[in-house]
Chains A and B, each alone.
Chain A
Amino acid sequence: AQRVTQPEKLLSVFKGAPVELKCNYSYSGSPELFWYVQYSRQRLQLLLRHISRESIKGFTADLNKGETSFHLKKPFAQEEDSAMYYCALSDSWGKLQFGAGTQVVVTP
């Protein structure tokens, strides 16, 4: 069965410090992975998609099939990065399996 694990419920970092959000998955096929972000009082929005390999708002994520991980990283956190982040795995039918989410708090 497919599963997405985000081990950290809360991540508190100082402005300017690096931030890494962990995501591990289990899936028997070839995974399609996403990171979604939900800022306070806003709708959930797509942050990154692994096949596009682009950097959005300074965030990057690399798919490591050997470690079955898709960790999200940013070298210098900003206060506006405070949000809830969800890792999600898409199956062959396009259905998304979400992790439980990681709340990021960036303090000045």
Chain B
Amino acid sequence: DAGITQSPRHKVTETGTPVTLRCHQTENHRYMYWYRQDPGHGLRLIHYSYGVKDTDKGEVSDGYSVSRSKTEDFLLTLESATSSQTSVYFCAISLGQNQPQHFGDGTRLSIL
């Protein structure tokens, strides 16, 4: 398995609280991605990064922000969590734009 660690693995929190999910990689891959997985929707891209401090929005970026201050870490922040953000969040990494993506184990987030 690719060296990708997501933390926390599970989190339950209340509406309106801030939440930060962390993705850490040991592969020195340039590209990193955050997806959410919901039944009937598959995985949808939230944000991605193509280098340190270089990020861009994906398909479902509203309500989320990201930061990448170093190659190995990509943080996803929900500034004020809502119940619609209850989901499983996956981080992925890749060497290049059209190279296969390698996924982490996911974070199960519940917003009550």
Assess the A49–B100 pair: CB atoms within 8 A: yes
A32 to B96: give the CA distance in the assembly, Å: 13
A66 within 8 A of B: no
Q: Tell whether, in the assembled complex, residue A43 and residue B103 are in contact, meaning their CB atoms are under 8 Å apart.
A: yes
Q: Is A11's CB within 8 Å of the partner chain B?
A: no
Is the pair B41, A100 in contact by a Cβ cutoff of 8 Å? yes
Contact A100 B40 (CB under 8 A): yes
B74 within 8 A of A: no
Q: Is the CB of B42 within 8 A of A86?
A: yes
Q: Interface-forming stretch among B16-24, B43-51, B65-73, B78-86?
A: B43-51
Chain B residue with Cβ nearest A34: B100
Complex: how many Å from CA A9 to CA B102?
24
Does B100 lie within 8 Å of A46, measured CB to CB?
A: yes
CB distance from A103 to the nearest CB of B (A): 10
Which among A46, A90, A94 has the greatest number of chain B C-beta atoms within 10 A?
Answer: A94
- Residues of A in contact (CB 8 Å), total 23
Across the interface, do B101 and A96 meet the contact criterion of CB distance under 8 Å?
yes
Is A17 part of the binding interface, using a Cβ–Cβ cutoff of 8 Å?
no
Q: Mark A44-73, 1 if CB is under 8 A from B, else 0.
A: 111001000000000000000000000000
Q: Which residue of B lies closest to A51 (CB)?
A: B98
Contact, CB under 8 Å: A44 / B96 = no
Which residues of B, 61-112, contact A by the 8 Å Cβ criterion? 90, 92, 94, 96-106
Question: What are the residues of chain B within 8 A of A43 when measuring CB–CB?
Answer: 1, 90, 103-106
